[in-house]
Amino acid sequence: MTASISDILLGWYDGHARDLPWRNPPGNPPPDDPAWPYRVWLSEVMLQQTTVAAVKPYFAKFTARWPTVEALAAAPEDDVMAAWAGLGYYSRARNLVKCGREVAARGGFPSTEAELRRLPGLGDYTAAAIAAIAFGQRAVVVDANVERVAARLFAIDEPLPAARKAIRAATGTITPHIRAGDFAQGMMDLGSQICTSKAPRCLLCPLRELCAGYAAGDPERLPVKPAKKPVPERRGTAFWMTRNKGAEVWLVTRPDSGMLGGMRALPDDGWSAQDNGSGVPPVAGEWRTLGAVRHGFTHAQLTLEVIALHTDIPPEGEGQWWPIEGIDNAGLATLFAKAARLAVASV
């Protein structure tokens, strides 16, 4: 059964692989190019909790601007954070810089899963994916798509997250020693195109006859997910402070730790996923309410009120006056980009 599953899946992948800018054509060994592991690593970091469609333009922008890990390592962290703006989960960008600098210092990426796991920001999945795809090593690669395929293929009905140990073990039994990278990407493509979370296209699946979930008659229920917890509602305030006849706005850089860490932003009142903001402006004056924007985080839904003040005196603390005409180039996190668009449209 093991050989049949891997052989069938690889045959399907050879004819149905997605054409992605960070991929090697099916059946070819990893390119003998120092930039290849960098491209695989960059794509895998970007793809964490993010769709392929969202990642493509960012990947193109990053590789055009920083074509090697050495180029990325030499870049100012603020530039990398600004280029990442809009992609979300900003701790990934901070870890990208840390990891890139460590890799450049050691002269390149290590080729084994164990050594890769020691790099900053690389968990089990990313280390396994790079080892398999970039270096042709046998590694068990389990992302959300692979998790779903394996849970259905082996009818693993223990609820997540407890089921992940069994899912990984089951995936290990079918991961081949040859073409492990292609196998991992084939499982990912099968999960994204055929074995989807809703309405799986079982009649088109090359593994249908070997799938225990399909044989049981209800593959869509797998993997079994725990009930979702309600997401708390939070409120905060962003401060749109302008000078020079409204031509410039005061921006700050958020602390490295915490939500949206290291990103350029509008000043705010200290809201977090755990607490509402104080609503207290940083300076006294005749503030005007411009409206509010909504934004969803993993652990909270935020309503951010935007209030405005024209002042030539900046608040205490570090920041910079930024030309409003170039606000789109400030690299604001998505939440504050929404707030800025509201402010520009309102004043």
Contact 54, 93 (CB under 8 A): no
**Residue 22 identity (one-letter amino acid):** W
Bridge partners of 218, per DSSP, are none
Other C-beta atoms lying within 10 Å of the C-beta of residue 347 = 14
Using CB atoms within 10 A of its CB, is residue 119 exposed (0-12), middle (13-18) or buried (19+)? Answer: buried
| CA atoms of 22 and 7, how far apart (whole Å) | 24
| CA atoms of 233 and 229, how far apart (whole Å) | 13
Bridge partners of 236, per DSSP, are 304
Q: Is 77 tagged catalytic? A: no
Question: Which alpha helices (H) appear in 154-226, and where do they start and end?
Answer: 164-174, 180-193, 212-216
Sequence-distant (≥ 6) Cβ neighbours of residue 48 within 8 angstroms: 89, 92, 126
> Annotated catalytic residue: which of 44, 70, 147, 248?
44
| CA atoms of 332 and 51, how far apart (whole Å) | 20
| CA atoms of 113 and 60, how far apart (whole Å) | 26
Catalytic residues: 44
